[in-house]
Amino acid sequence: MESALLKILLPAISSFVVGILITPIVTHWLYKHKMWKKVAGKTAGYGDNNGTPIFNSLHKDKDVNTPRMGGIVVWVSVVVTLLLFWCFTLIWQSDFTTGLNFFSREQTLLPMFMFLVGAAVGFLDDLLTVKGRGGHFADGLSLRYRLTLVTVSLAMSGWWFYDKLEVSSINLIGYGPIELGLGFVLVYIFMGTCIYMSSVIDGLDGLSGGVFLFIFAAYAGISFYQGQYDISALCASIVGALLAFLWFNIPPARFYMGETGMMALTLLLTMVVFMTDVLGDGEGVLLLPVVGFLLVVTVGTTALQILSKKFRGKKIFLVAPLHHHFEAKGWPAYKVTMRYWILGFICAMTGLILAIAF
């Protein structure tokens, strides 16, 4: 048990330290090359040509002088940590060092691949956003392009679960597996797309980092309880990296997470959620709405706003998703963030309790 705990705790500490050490370098590069949007605000998207005037007025002074791509700190910290422990095993071979290595074909190879795919595509989107000078990609990759790339990635990994790992069901909490057959791949794509769409939670200083920190901490605990120690160590290294990111992202943020961080985290989270389901003899999929309740709220309020504007011709919220609604009502951004952190902790603990109880 002691060695298993070390395998979880050491990657978390390592990724935190690496993140703290590399941030000055990343920050210098981001500010030197002015990696921020040149025009504040955003358009509404989804065929709405009226823009987002309330959001734009709230963020008119932030977007144009705070760099994107802060997610580089997260994925570089995790990758460096994984390579450090792997190389350490090669240099000093013993039962102890071998036990610390959490890079394995069975549990973390494909999740890390998806993590890096998301980081790379997101980096391209961020780069086009801050460097775009007109043309089709002046505002970064369009939502259609990003969703297409995400869907293709999810289809590949979902098929890997179905074909290679012979997973075709998900566990219902307290009742056992529900057989889906080939429909499992469709459920995987749907879940992954919803998780990716929740990346719009990256809208306030410290918000996305704190929310995802608690989610990955919960799944580190869930996978540890299942005996999937490599996945648990990977989740723990994400937690450490997010702590380092938050050190510099709390108000006033030195940089934003950006698409390179959010796409990497959401694609990885999809993998972790399904790895901790049938494969771990757990209920990782249906625990996500509990553990990640704030992500559900983010996607849900955005969807409700779009549908209401389309079919009723009026809005439900001042701004969607919900955290911007509170901001528009006059809540200071830090108050919204702190309260989301508190709720994120409660949701994570509730999900962990359910995982252990059932």
Q: pLDDT per residue over 169-200, tens digit each?
A: 999 988 889 999 999 999 999 999 999 999 99
Q: Number of H helices and number of E strands within the chain? A: 14, 2
Low-confidence residues in the chain, pLDDT < 50: 44-49
Q: What is the pLDDT of residue 90?
A: 84
Q: Which pLDDT belongs to residue 137?
A: 59
The whole-number pLDDT of residue 24 equals: 96
Identify the CA nearest to 204 among candidates 290, 84, 324. Answer: 324
Determine the Cα–Cα distance for residues 352 and 350; give it in Å rounded to an integer: 5
261 within 8 A of 204, measured Cβ to Cβ: no
CA dihedral of residues 21, 22, 24, 28 (deg, nearest 10): 170
Taking Cα atoms as reference points, which of 41, 45, 56 lies closest to residue 306?
Answer: 45
- Beta carbons of 152 and 159 less than 8 angstroms apart: no
Question: Counting beta carbons within 10 angstroms of the beta carbon of residue 6, is it exposed (0 to 12), middle (13 to 18) or buried (19 or more)?
Answer: middle
Would you state the pLDDT for residue 49? 43
pLDDT at 46: 46
Nearest Cα residue to 147 out of 116, 192, 209, 201: 192
Identify the three-state secondary structure at position 33.
coil
pLDDT at 134: 53
Q: What single string gives the DSSP state of each residue in 105-170?
A: TTTTHHHHHHHHHHHHHHHHHHHHHHH--SSTTTTSS-HHHHHHHHHHHHHHHHHIIIIIS---EE
CB atoms within 10 A of CB 166: 9
Spell out the residues 6+ positions from residue 73 whose beta carbon is closer than 8 angstroms to its own. Answer: 19, 22, 23, 26, 241, 244, 245, 248
pLDDT score of 54: 66
Q: What is the model's pLDDT at position 175?
A: 86
CA atoms within 13 A on the CB side of 95: 2
Do 344 and 323 touch, CB atoms closer than 8 A? Answer: no
